[in-house]
Structure 1
Amino acid sequence: MTETRKIRQVLKSKPAIEGAGVHLKRAFGRSQVPMFDPFLLLDDFRSDNPEDYIKGFPWHPHRGIETITYVLQGDVEHGDSMGNKGVISSGDIQWMTAGSGIIHQEMPKGDPKGVMLGFQLWANLPKVYKMMEPRYRDVKSGQIPEVMLDNGSKVRVICGKAGGQQGPVRDIITDPEYLDITVTARSEFVHPTKRGHTVFAYVIEGKGYFCKEKLPFSYEIEGVNYFDLQRDPFVSNETLVLFDDGDQMMVSTEDDAVRFLLISGKPLGEPVAWYGPIVMNTEDELRIAFDEYHNGTFIKHRRV
C-alpha cells in the first residue's frame, strides 16, 4: 500500500546576513542539523534593492560539501580556483562539488531593474568523498526539462525524475532530487518519493496545503516550536515543510496557485563538524582545513 508522507515540521525562513553583507532569508541551517541530513542549509536571497545583495560573497573556501545555486531572476557572477568563470542567469543552476577544496566567489548583480531572486542549498558529502576531486556544473535554463501536467501544473526537473523526464544534473552521491513545481489553483499534485530519503518542500510563491493537512501555522524561536491558530492554515511563501517518511508527497490548492522547490536526498548518518564554509566529520579535520587555508596548501587539485 502506498503511504503518503505526513508533515513532520513547518518552518518559517528567518532573516540573516552572510558574505560581505548580503541580506537573505534562511529556511534552515546549522541549528537544524541533523534534521535535514544530507542537507545543511537553504538560503533564499531575493530583493529588489541592490543594497541588500550587491556586496556579494567575495573569495572564500569550501571543503566537504556541495553548493547548489538556483537563480530565477537576475545574474550572479562566478569565479573559482579551478579556472571557471561565468554568469548564472535567470533559470540557470550551478552545482558545485567542493570536495577536497575550492576557493570561489559569487557576486549577485540582479537584473536591469535591480531585482535578484535565487536560492542556495548546501548538501553534505559522506566521509569517503569529502576529499574527492572538486567539480563544477553550470546548467543553463534551456537544458532543464519542463513537464506540463494535465491540470496545467508544471515541473522543472533539475535533478531526479518527474513526468518521465530526467534532470540534467546526474551522478550525485547523495542521490538527490531537485524539482521546481507550480501547482495551479483548485488542483492536486502527487509525486513519488524514495523510502528513507529526507524530503522537504520550500514555498516560493502562493500557498497550498500539504498531505491533506490544514495545520495551525507553526514557527520556531530558539529551538522551541510555537503554533498560532489565528494564522492562515495554508503553507505560504517563504515557508518550509519537512516530511516524515513515505512513498509519496502530496500538495493541494484552493483559490491560489502554489510554487515550491521539492528537494530530497539520502541521509548520511555521519557526525558533522561545521565551521563557516567548511564541513567535515571531526574537529581535527576542521582544524587541518583552516590551517591549510591559512598556509596556502588548501587546494589539492591543480590550481589554474
Structure 2
Amino acid sequence: MSREIQQLIPALAASEGAGVKIKRSLGQGPRVRHDPVLMLDEFNSENAADYMAGFPSHPHRGFETVTYMLDGHMLHKDHMGNRGDLKAGDVQWMTAARGIIHSEMPQQLEGKMRGFQLWLNLPAKEKMKPAAYRDIAADTIPVVALNSGASVKIIAGALSHSGKTTTGTISGLSTEPVYWDIALPAGITEQFNVPEGHHLFLYPYEGQALVGEDKRLVNTSTAGLLSDGDSIAITAAGTEPLRLLLIGGKPIGEPIAQYGPFVMNTHEEIEQAINDYRAGRLTA
C-alpha cells in the first residue's frame, strides 16, 4: 500500500537559542507534531549574524535531540563531560531522558552553517532513565547507492532495496526511528519500502518532490505528513535534483505536556522538572 501526502506544513521563520535564525515545520505549536516526532528545525545561513550567538547552556528532560550537520562546525558540551565537534555530515544523538544540561556553539566566524535539529519523544517508562550522548561521524553512516543515481544516507532505520537490507547507525530504540537523507537526480522516481504503522513525514530541503501515486507536490522547506502504508514513491520534480529527509518512528500514543525544553506526560511532571532544574536536581 503506497503512502500519500496527508498534510503539508510549510516551515516558518523563528529564532532559537540566543538568537539563531531557523525555520520550524513540526513543532510550530502543540498540535503540529507527528508522534513520536515533536519538532524539526532547519538552520541555513551564510550570514554569521544569523548563527553566531549559538545555543548557550540550557536544560532538557524527557526526549531525544538529533542534530544533523550539512555545513559548518558546532561544538557540543554537556554536564556529563561530553565534548563533541559536529562538522559537515556528522550527527549528534542525545538522549536527554532524566536530564541533561548542554550547549551548542558555532566554531566558525564566517561561512555557511546548515543543518537540522529533530526532537524525538520518549515513552513515559523511559523519560527518567539516565541521559546519554553519542557522536556519529559522517564516514560511519551507511550510504546506499541506487542504480538510478539516487542515494540514501541511513542515519536510523533500515533500508531494504534490491534484495539487500542496510541498517543505519542508530537502531534498537523503542520508537524504532527512521532518519534517511535521500538524494534523487532531476526527474528520477524511486520507490522505497518503509515500516507499516510508523508515523512518517518527508522534508525537501533542496528542490521539490512529487509524492505518492497522485504525485502531490511538496515544496522546499515543507513537511509532508504521510498516510500509512508499506512503500512510498518519490520523484524529483522539475529540472533540479532533490534532497529530502524521510523521518519518523513508531507512535507512542501517550499524552504530551511540554514547557520549553521539558517534555513529559503530565503538568505535574513539568512542574517537577522546573523545580528540579531550579534546585540543581535535574541531572542528579
Q: Same fold (TM over 0.5)?
A: yes
Distance (whole Å) between structure 1 residues aligned to residue 83 and residue 213 of structure 2: 45
Q: Is contact 1:154-1:183 (8 Å) kept?
A: yes
Query: SS of 2:25's equivalent?
Result: strand
* More displaced 10-residue stretch of structure 1: 121-130 or 25-34: 25-34
Q: Give the TM-score normalised by the residue count of structure 2.
A: 0.95
Distance (whole Å) between structure 2 residues aligned to residue 35 and residue 100 of structure 1: 22
Match of 2:251 in 1: 267
Q: Is contact 1:197-1:267 (8 Å) kept?
A: yes
Q: Is contact 1:19-1:56 (8 Å) kept?
A: yes
Question: 2:120 is aligned with what amino acid?
Answer: A
Deviation at 1:30? 5.0
Match of 1:92 in 2: 90
Identity of aligned residues (%): 43
Asked if 1:148 corresponds to 2:145, the answer is: yes
Asked if 1:137 corresponds to 2:137, the answer is: no
Deviation at 1:113? 4.7
**CA offsets, 1:20-79, max 9 Å, x none?**
111100011052537400010000011000101110111111000000000000011100
Distance (whole Å) between structure 2 residues aligned to residue 199 and residue 284 of structure 1: 30
Query: SS of 1:196's equivalent?
Result: coil
Query: SS of 2:207's equivalent?
Result: strand
Distance (whole Å) between structure 2 residues aligned to residue 207 and residue 279 of structure 1: 33
Question: 1:198 is aligned with what amino acid?
Answer: H
Asked if 1:257 corresponds to 2:241, the answer is: yes
Deviation at 1:86? 2.1
Match of 1:287 in 2: 271
Question: 1:150 is aligned with what amino acid?
Answer: N
Query: SS of 2:255's equivalent?
Result: coil
Match of 1:36 in 2: 34
Match of 1:128 in 2: 125
Cα distance change of structure 1 residues 35 and 298 upon mapping to structure 2, 3 Å threshold: closer
Deviation at 1:109? 3.4
* More displaced 10-residue stretch of structure 1: 246-255 or 291-300: 246-255
Q: Is contact 1:130-1:280 (8 Å) kept?
A: yes
Unpaired stretches in structure 2, ≥5 consecutive residues: none
Query: SS of 1:28's equivalent?
Result: coil
- Choose the corresponding residue for 1:79, options 66, 77, 92: 77
Asked if 1:243 corresponds to 2:241, the answer is: no
After superposition, residues 1-304 of structure 1 pair within 5 angstroms as 3-31=1-29, 33=31, 35-110=33-108, 113-162=110-159, 163=161, 164-215=165-216, 234-253=217-236, 254-300=238-284
Q: Is contact 1:30-1:40 (8 Å) kept?
A: no
Question: 1:190 is aligned with what amino acid?
Answer: Q
The alignment of Structure 1 onto Structure 2 pairs a total of residues equal to 279
**Deviant stretches of 4+, over 4 Å:** none
Q: Give the TM-score normalised by the residue count of structure 1.
A: 0.88
Unpaired stretches in structure 1, ≥5 consecutive residues: 216-233
Distance (whole Å) between structure 2 residues aligned to residue 10 and residue 62 of structure 1: 28
